[in-house]
């Protein structure tokens, strides 16, 4: 019951219910868990790529993403740890823009709790997903799953990113509903968020 209570608490952030409804309504589409993550790279250049939603961290609103430690975005985020997700649901015509600070958690992290979280998400991944981090010379190229022991912990190339939402901008293109949520203080309770006038 403690777990259920914690889940309910995390879900109390006002935009989480909207997002869960969109995930449910679009669950029949494989790409419904794909979104685009914008970051700022060298020389202040915007960068943008498709990544996969790996769920929320327990008891909070942090959005989890897996990536290869060798990818450009890891270096970019270490320099400038801000990101904005654009998540468009193609069946329900809903868009969520979620911005916040991104934490890069690779094997070099000095925080035991973060290393534990990285290990947890590694073991929660399929063997197929894990095998993508063994690819050489480029990240993302899967190798035979047979080369990987299921009990082996995260390999060096495996990196967990968590985006901690500070602002969520919602638009429903079917109903023309717009909502904007801004976090006013640390925390994930509904009282930590306020709704503001939205603009495109």
Give the max Cα distance, the chain. 53
- Residue choice 64, 99, 117, 162 for contact with a second copy (CB under 8 A): 99
Q: Which stretch binds a second copy (CB under 8 A): 53-61, 64-72, 109-117, 145-153?
A: 64-72
Please work out the total of residues on this chain that contact a second copy, with binding judged by CB under 8 A. Answer: 41
**If you compute the radius of gyration of the chain from its CA atoms, what whole number of angstroms results?**
17
Residue 57: DSSP 8-state: P
Beta carbon of residue 88, minimum distance to a second copy (angstroms, whole number): 5
SS3 (DSSP) at 8:
helix
Site string for a second copy, 138-177 (x = CB under 8 A): xxxxx----------------------------x----x-
Residue 24: DSSP 8-state: H
SS3 (DSSP) at 138:
coil
- Residue choice 19, 22, 85, 105 for contact with a second copy (CB under 8 A): 85
Q: How far apart are CA 75 and CA 157, in angstroms?
A: 13
- Residue choice 38, 60, 134, 179 for contact with a second copy (CB under 8 A): 38
Task: Output 58 or 196, the one with its CB closest to a second copy.
Answer: 196
Q: Which of 160, 159, 150, 152 is nearest to 127 (CA)?
A: 150
- HSE-CB for 127 with a 13 A CA cutoff: 10
Binding site for a second copy (CB under 8 A): 29, 31, 34, 36-40, 44-50, 68, 70-72, 80, 82-86, 88, 90, 95, 97, 99, 138-142, 171, 176, 178, 198-200
């Amino acid at each position: 019951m403690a777990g259920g209570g914690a889940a309910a608490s995390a879900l109390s952030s006002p935009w989480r219910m909207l997002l869960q409804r969109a995930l449910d309504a679009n669950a029949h589409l494989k790409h419904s868990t794909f979104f685009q993550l914008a970051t700022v790279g060298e020389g202040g250049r915007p960068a943008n790529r498709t990544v996969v939603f790996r769920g929320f961290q327990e008891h909070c609103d942090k959005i989890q993403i897996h990536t290869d430690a060798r990818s450009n975005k890891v270096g970019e985020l270490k320099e400038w740890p801000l990101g904005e997700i654009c998540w468009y649901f193609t069946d329900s015509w809903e868009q969520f823009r979620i911005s916040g600070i991104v934490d890069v958690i690779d094997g070099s992290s000095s925080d035991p709790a973060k290393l534990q979280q990285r290990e947890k998400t590694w073991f929660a991944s399929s063997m197929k997903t894990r095998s993508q981090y063994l690819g050489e010379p480029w990240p993302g190229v899967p190798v035979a799953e047979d080369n990987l022991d299921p009990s082996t912990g995260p390999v060096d190339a495996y990196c967990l990113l968590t985006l901690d939402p500070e602002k969520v901008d919602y638009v429903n293109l079917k109903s023309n509903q717009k909502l904007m949520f801004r976090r006013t203080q640390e925390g994930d309770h509904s009282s930590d968020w306020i709704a503001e006038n939205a603009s495109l």
